[in-house]
Structure 1
Amino acid sequence: MLTLFHAPNTRSTGVLALLHAMGKRDAVDVRVVGLRRSDGTGAADSANPHPEGKVPTLMVGKEMLRERNAIVLFLTDHFRSDLGRDVGAAGRASYLRWLAYYGNVVEPVLISEAAGVADHPAMQSTFRGRPEMEAELSAALTDQPFLLGDDYSAADLLMASPFVWFPEFMPAAQSIRDWVARCGAHPSAALAAQEEARMTADA
């Protein structure tokens, strides 16, 4: 049994959208929990098994899985979705590359920029910065509409998410802007938004 502990308008929204994109929304029990938000509102919910009270949290039987890139990988593998890439299939290495790059580089770069510490030597030596991140995206999108080729994937969903949610982070390159627009227009985004609106109305 898979159970997703979720809160609307959070990092977990992308996981909910992924379930819709895969056509597997009904295969996962989604439980809405409270959490302490960045603006100081809300509070941790004892119903959430995440040790820090964050979302998304995916329970796989009695095992807890945390961090979006790990959850995205698990779900696309578990459901053998063409939004991921199977072990041994062409594109698997590129798929893993983007999932890891998101958590290990993109989020730290953008958060350090928002916090005003992007130029700190420790940040630059460990993660590099926005120019390198944008160059990586631009190179991938030069000759193809999505990160893994012609079709939208879970890597696109994850990698585009900060730019969809925070337009102030949007890179200047038109190829990246067009890619973000394509990702944001995927039907799963609207389905997740509609479900979250119902969650909020029922709260």
Structure 2
Amino acid sequence: MSLDRRVTFYHAPQTRSSGTLALLKELGADYDLRLINLRAGEQRQPAYLAINPMGKVPAIRHGEALVSEQGAIFIYLADLYPEAGLAPAIGDPLRGPYLRWLVFYGSSFEPAVTDRSLGREPAPLARSPYGSFDDVLKTLDNQLEKGPYLLGERFTAADVLWGSALAWTTGFGLVPKTPAIERYLGKVTTRPVFARVAERDAQWAAEHAAAAGQG
């Protein structure tokens, strides 16, 4: 029996979930879109809290499976569409590094950037989930120096996540645009999918703003 791979994707424009939208398009995935209007507070309404009690996007539903957290979503979707070639298979030497960088984003990079943006001192090294901001940036920068992609010559779902993340964090001045990061963004975010997502997100965001203003 063939697997029904169509997913339901919960998305708010111009948020972290934009990276997931880019991934769905890179994969050529079948999906139903459910837009969440953050301006109207839909993410805190019971209907969406039943999907993700954290009230955050992105989230996906595939059959009876609900998946939240960006790293988990990227792993799930790229494995669901193996023919797209965006996920090294189990047994491939790149599988471990691929998973490492998908998880590193949420476990180290996001907490470090959040603390830095709020001017908070990180926890003592023995208790910090990421060590220090400088260590996180250096670790990432050293990997990108090997380029052109995170895993060298192979473009993967991890690059969709990191390209999207670094575009907005450098855009807001939260992360310095080192030469390695700048080269990486020039390679990844110039892919046609990123421009299409940005254009569609801008349209949805304007519609949500107008709808919230009428409410």
Quote the residue 2:17 is aligned against. 12
Aligned residues with identical type, % of pairs: 32
Q: CA deviation at 1:196?
A: 2.2
Q: CA deviation at 1:95?
A: 0.5
Instruction: Tell me which of 84, 90, 93 is aligned to 1:90.
Output: 93
* Closer, same or farther: CA 130–76 of 1 in aligned 2, 3 Å: same
CA distance in 2, matches of 1:170, 1:95: 22
Does the CA contact (< 8 Å) of 2:9 and 2:34 recur in 1? yes
* Unmatched runs of 5 consecutive residues or more in structure 2: 1-5, 209-215
Secondary structure, aligned partner of 2:146: coil
> 1:177 aligned to 2:177?
no
Where has structure 1 moved over 6 Å in runs of 4 or more? none
* Closer, same or farther: CA 174–139 of 1 in aligned 2, 3 Å: same
Greater RCO (Cα-Cα under 8 Å, separation 6 or more): 2
Quote the residue 1:157 is aligned against. 160
90-99 vs 168-177, which deviates more? 168-177
Deviations 1:91-118 (A, max 9, x none): 1001000011011000000001112113
Deviations 1:139-191 (A, max 9, x none): 21233211011133211221233321132023353112211232221211112
Deviations 1:2-59 (A, max 9, x none): 10111111111000011111222xx011111223xxxxx4312443221122111111
How many corresponding residue pairs? 196
* Amino acid paired to 1:13: S
* Unmatched runs of 5 consecutive residues or more in structure 1: 36-40
* Closer, same or farther: CA 115–108 of 1 in aligned 2, 3 Å: same
> 1:78 aligned to 2:80?
yes
Quote the residue 1:38 is aligned against. none
Does the CA contact (< 8 Å) of 2:20 and 2:58 recur in 1? yes
Secondary structure, aligned partner of 1:127: coil
Instruction: Tell me which of 33, 40, 45 is aligned to 1:42.
Output: 40
Does the CA contact (< 8 Å) of 1:8 and 1:196 recur in 2? yes
Instruction: Tell me which of 103, 106, 114 is aligned to 2:117.
Output: 114
* Amino acid paired to 2:204: M
Q: CA RMSD in A?
A: 2.1
CA distance in 2, matches of 1:123, 1:160: 30
TM-score normalised by structure 1 residue count: 0.86
* Amino acid paired to 2:147: Q
* Closer, same or farther: CA 134–124 of 1 in aligned 2, 3 Å: farther
12-21 vs 148-157, which deviates more? 148-157
* Amino acid paired to 1:163: L
Does the CA contact (< 8 Å) of 1:170 and 1:177 recur in 2? no
Does the CA contact (< 8 Å) of 1:118 and 1:129 recur in 2? no
113-122 vs 55-64, which deviates more? 113-122
